[in-house]
Amino acid sequence: MFPERVYYENTIQNYPLGRMLIEKYKSSEFIPIESHNNIFELRSRPNEDFTAMKNYLVIGVRKTHKYVPNTKISDFLVPFTSSGCMAMCLYCYLVCNYNKCSYLRVFVNREQMLDNLIKKSHEYTKECVFEIGSNSDLILEDTVTDTLSNTIEEFAKKGRGAITFPTKFGMSDKLLGLRHNGKVIFRMSLNPQELIKSVEIGTSPLFNRINALNSMCEAGYQVGILIAPVILVENWKALYAELLDILEAELTQKTKDSIFIEIIFMTYSYVQNAINNQAFPDSLKLYNKEIMTGRGRGKYCYKESYRLEAETFLRDEIDKRFKSARIIYVV
């Protein structure tokens, strides 16, 4: 049962979403906290408890609203309605930020964040793209808060430019009939099913993700694919070639004609390695000292020669199958 426990700041009762969540999860155990940022009881738990803590929900009020300039798909990263996630991808970048406290936190002052976003979208001379999903998975958050549909329709009505978010989940049906006015860029993150199963624990299977991508494209959303993160396991060439074969067979012509592609290689960290070794002792080992090298502050990335070989391989294989798809960047 999710959530097994709810940690909450008292002030959430002053917000409609706070009261809705209290009612929705009234059969869970509720534990008051001073601040969602610093729950000593959870911070002091051992790494082995990582999976148990993913079953907790933390509800608070977001105080930081600073937009961070970005140069990839968006112009700004926006701190939005949640951070953390219930899933447990072994490489999750959020673990670098929140360590073992990367459980789902939702913020009840969503009206304030949406108002800020709409105002900000009118402040620039050019139309900007705002990344609202860099701290969590908004499709998954939506199953808890129902926030995303409202965000899309309100931004479509009053915002300028576009909002975008990536996801690893296929539950997009709720979004299909929304009036999005072409102001939403939906990006599906994809990996070979074998890696989804062993590494992206708790996320949607590949075929659900492909179906969601096709449906969102059909519903008029702008769509993109992230091949991310590329993980260089022993048989990576066969796995990624098979993934591209599946995409060639399963994506609709309309999706193929519309998509752009982002390719991101996996980075990994000392912290993730420590948590995974203790919380998932039997899982696939992602750290490989033969092909990885240090990249500052306890992080590892693939050595340049391995990365280059994989980049060339992926570019060639994509080009063979998707002539019109644009690879926007590879990192």
Interface with ligand SF4 (CB under 6 A): 85, 87-89, 92, 94, 136-137, 168, 200, 203
CB of 177 to ligand SF4, least distance (A): 25
39: phi then psi, degrees, rounded to nearest 5:
-105, 95
CB of 179 to ligand SF4, least distance (A): 27
Q: Considering the complex, state which of residue 56 and residue 322 has its C-beta at the smaller distance from ligand SF4.
A: 56
The answer to whether the peptide bond before residue 3 is cis (omega within 30 degrees of 0) is yes
CB of 275 to ligand SF4, least distance (A): 12
Ranked by CB distance to ligand SF4, the top (closest) residue is 85
Rounded CA gap, 72 and 219, in Å?
25
CB of 137 to ligand SF4, least distance (A): 4
Measuring CA to CA, how many Å separate 53 from each of 3, 24, 99? 10, 20, 12
Q: Considering the complex, state which of residue 222 and residue 272 has its C-beta at the smaller distance from ligand SF4.
A: 272
Measuring CA to CA, how many Å separate 185 from each of 31, 35, 130, 162? 37, 33, 10, 7
Question: Residues 254, 320: contact at Cβ < 8 Å?
Answer: no
CB of 188 to ligand SF4, least distance (A): 12
Q: Considering the complex, state which of residue 89 and residue 210 has its C-beta at the smaller distance from ligand SF4.
A: 89
CB of 267 to ligand SF4, least distance (A): 12
Q: Considering the complex, state which of residue 143 and residue 258 has its C-beta at the smaller distance from ligand SF4.
A: 143
110: phi then psi, degrees, rounded to nearest 5:
-70, -30
Nearest to 219 by CA among 261, 252, 242: 252
Q: Considering the complex, state which of residue 36 and residue 183 has its C-beta at the smaller distance from ligand SF4.
A: 36
Q: Considering the complex, state which of residue 39 and residue 92 has its C-beta at the smaller distance from ligand SF4.
A: 92
Listed in sequence order, the DSSP H helices in the chain are 16-24, 40-43, 50-53, 94-98, 110-121, 138-145, 148-158, 173-176, 193-199, 206-218, 236-250, 253-258, 270-279, 304-321
Rounded CA gap, 119 and 68, in Å?
16
